[in-house]
């Protein structure tokens, strides 16, 4: 029978069958999926085939995994060519960001967006703690909202503590499977508690932001939304890495650059100092945000040359 994986704790998986019944499942034998070497063959969001093992104890054996629509991974600490799959079959990824207490940098947001593009997962940016924003932060929010909307992303403003903007956020989450990420302290757990009232995750107190050793376990877990859809929480995951990206392809992951690349004089243009560059021209003309272009240059600089 078919089931959906809600949680993985290493060797055991929590899965739910089509009638809504939960099981503890495990793997027997070895799976090879796609061509990637993965340290965890089954991940949250996977659709698996399973056989009952013990009816009384609700245990089952996973015997197969359906092809993934997409997945998010990160490089395993065990080595460069080993990947750890965090979640599969996502409809969107949601970045929780804040302009105050703490401040999320634009560079961090742009790296997140590049990663989402690489994984072919639409991204949603949720600015939380709106109740703390004064004119300065509201101006910044409006500016950033325009920049990201122009690049094709959805942006919203919420306050988990006061509930403002939450109805709009719920509409964006409805009937979708959404991976939640963002820095520690931005209010991910608080927001999950607002949209999943039955959940009551522990939130961190303010002094906990710089707390070392917090959230050392990083098992992703999926929750059903009461209004349809699912959220995947990834405690401890600060960002998904830009695994296997090359300098040449980076501009393809900036949507506002992607559709202008044919305009560059050289087809291997990196959009730095080359003559006849359509990207730099678009920045000069104000069609591409200067901040986004700076992020592009910064990320480009951080990518090692691909060695073949």
Ligand X SMILES: Nc1nc2c(ncn2[C@@H]2O[C@H](COP(=O)(O)OP(=O)(O)O)[C@@H](O)[C@H]2O)c(=O)[nH]1
Q: Which residues bind ligand X (CB under 6 A)?
A: 128-129, 131-132, 159-161, 182, 184-190, 203-206
**Considering the complex, what minimum distance in angstroms separates the CB of residue 259 from ligand X?**
34
73 touches Mg ion (CB under 5 A): no
308 Cβ contact list (under 8 Å, min separation 6): none
Which of ligand X, Zn ion, Mg ion, none lies near 30, with the C-beta cut-off 5 to 8 A by kind?
none
Cβ proximity to Zn ion: between 3 and 269 the closer is: 269
Confirm or reject binding of residue 271 to Zn ion (CB under 5 A).
Answer: yes
Instruction: Give yes or no for residue 260 binding Zn ion (CB under 5 A).
Output: no
Q: Between residues 27 and 160, which has the closer beta carbon with respect to ligand X?
A: 160
Q: Which of residues 170-189 bind Mg ion (CB under 5 A)?
A: 188-189
CA distance 25 to 13: 5
> What is the maximal distance between C-alpha atoms in the chain?
71
DSSP state of 67: P
Q: Using the minimum distance from each CB to Mg ion, give the nearer residue, 27 or 160.
A: 160
d(CA 21, CA 111): 38
Contact range with Zn ion by CB under 5 A, out of 88-96, 212-220, 231-239, 278-286:
278-286
Concatenate the DSSP letters of all residues of 204-220 into one string: --GGGTT-TTTT-----
Q: What six digits make up the tokens of 88?
A: 């599969």
171 CB neighbour count, 10 Å cutoff:
11
Q: In the bound complex, what is the minimum distance in angstroms from residue 247's beta carbon to Zn ion?
A: 13
Burial label, 86 (beta-carbon count in 10 A; 0-12, 13-18, 19+): buried
Judge residue 79's burial from the number of C-beta atoms within 10 Å of its C-beta, 0-12 exposed, 13-18 middle, 19 or more buried. exposed
- CA nearest 230: which of 116, 90, 127, 115? 90
For Zn ion, the binding residue among 86, 220, 264, 283 (CB under 5 A) is: 264
Which C-beta is closer to ligand X: that of 96 or that of 288?
Answer: 96
Residue 271: which of Zn ion, Mg ion, ligand X, none does it interact with, CB under 5 to 8 A by kind? Zn ion
Residue 173 vs 237, nearer CB to Mg ion: 237
The nearer residue to Mg ion, 73 or 189, going by C-beta atoms, is: 189
* Sites of contact with Mg ion (CB under 5 A): 188-189
* Sites of contact with Zn ion (CB under 5 A): 264, 269, 271, 277, 279
């Amino acid at each position: 029978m078919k089931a959906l994986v809600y949680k993985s704790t290493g060797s055991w998986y929590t899965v739910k069958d089509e009638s809504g019944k939960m099981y503890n499942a495990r793997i027997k034998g070895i799976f090879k999926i796609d061509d990637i070497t993965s340290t965890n063959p089954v991940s949250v969001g996977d659709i698996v085939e399973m056989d009952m093992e013990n009816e009384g104890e609700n245990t089952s054996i996973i015997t197969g995994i359906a092809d993934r629509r997409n997945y998010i991974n990160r490089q395993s600490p065990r080595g460069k060519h080993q990947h750890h799959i965090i979640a599969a079959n996502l409809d969107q990824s949601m970045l929780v960001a804040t302009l105050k207490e703490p401040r999320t940098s634009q560079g961090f947001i742009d790296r997140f967006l590049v990663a989402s593009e690489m994984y072919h997962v639409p991204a949603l940016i949720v600015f939380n703690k709106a109740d703390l924003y004064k004119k300065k932060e509201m101006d910044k929010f409006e500016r950033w909202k325009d920049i990201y909307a122009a690049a094709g992303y959805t942006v919203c403003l919420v306050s988990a503590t006061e509930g403002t903007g939450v109805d709009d956020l719920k509409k964006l989450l409805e009937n979708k499977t959404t991976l939640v990420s963002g820095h520690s302290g931005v209010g991910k757990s608080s927001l999950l508690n607002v949209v999943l009232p039955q959940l009551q995750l522990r939130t961190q107190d303010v002094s906990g932001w710089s707390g070392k050793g917090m959230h050392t376990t990083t098992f992703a877990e999926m929750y059903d939304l009461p209004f349809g859809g699912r959220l995947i929480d990834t405690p401890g995951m600060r960002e998904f890495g830009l695994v296997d990206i090359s300098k040449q392809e980076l501009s393809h992951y900036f949507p506002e650059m992607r559709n202008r690349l044919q305009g560059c004089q050289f087809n291997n243009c990196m959009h730095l100092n080359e003559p006849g560059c359509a990207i730099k021209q678009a920045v000069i003309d104000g069609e591409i945000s200067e901040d986004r272009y700076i992020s592009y240059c910064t990320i480009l600089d951080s990518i090692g040359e691909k060695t073949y």
